[in-house]
């Protein structure tokens, strides 16, 4: 079976986010008052697996081993069968 996979990776609460801080300051310089800016990475790919459960398990392993750092990141996975 073929699946569309989307992984959203964000920093955990309390982690410093210099990219978001820079965006907030830059928007302020442009005259926009923005609070609590945040950044996320979205990774999308197609993945072949025997079934949904197998796909979920393998994608979780990918996240834990490569796509994010579980110590500082949260991640959310969306899987849709094609």
Q: Which domain holds residue 58?
A: 2-81
Question: What's the predicted TM-score (pTM) here?
Answer: 0.85
- What domain count does the chain have? 1
Question: Tell me, what CATH number does 35's domain have?
Answer: 3.30.1280.10
Strand 73-81, strand 40-48: pairing: unpaired
Percent of the chain with pLDDT over 90: 95
Mean pLDDT of 47-63: 97
Residue-wise pLDDT tens digits, 57-78? 999 999 999 999 999 999 999 9
- Is 36 a residue whose pLDDT tops 90? no
Report the alpha-carbon distance of residue 37 to residue 19 in Å, rounded: 9
């Amino acid at each position: 079976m073929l699946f569309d996979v989307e992984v959203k990776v964000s920093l955990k609460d309390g982690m410093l986010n210099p990219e978001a801080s820079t965006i907030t300051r830059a928007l302020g310089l442009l005259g926009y008052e923005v609070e609590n800016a945040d950044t996320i990475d979205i990774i999308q790919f197609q993945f072949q697996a025997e079934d949904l459960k197998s796909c979920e398990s393998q994608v979780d392993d990918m996240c834990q081993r490569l796509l994010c750092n579980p110590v500082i990141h949260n991640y959310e996975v969306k899987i849709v069968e094609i």
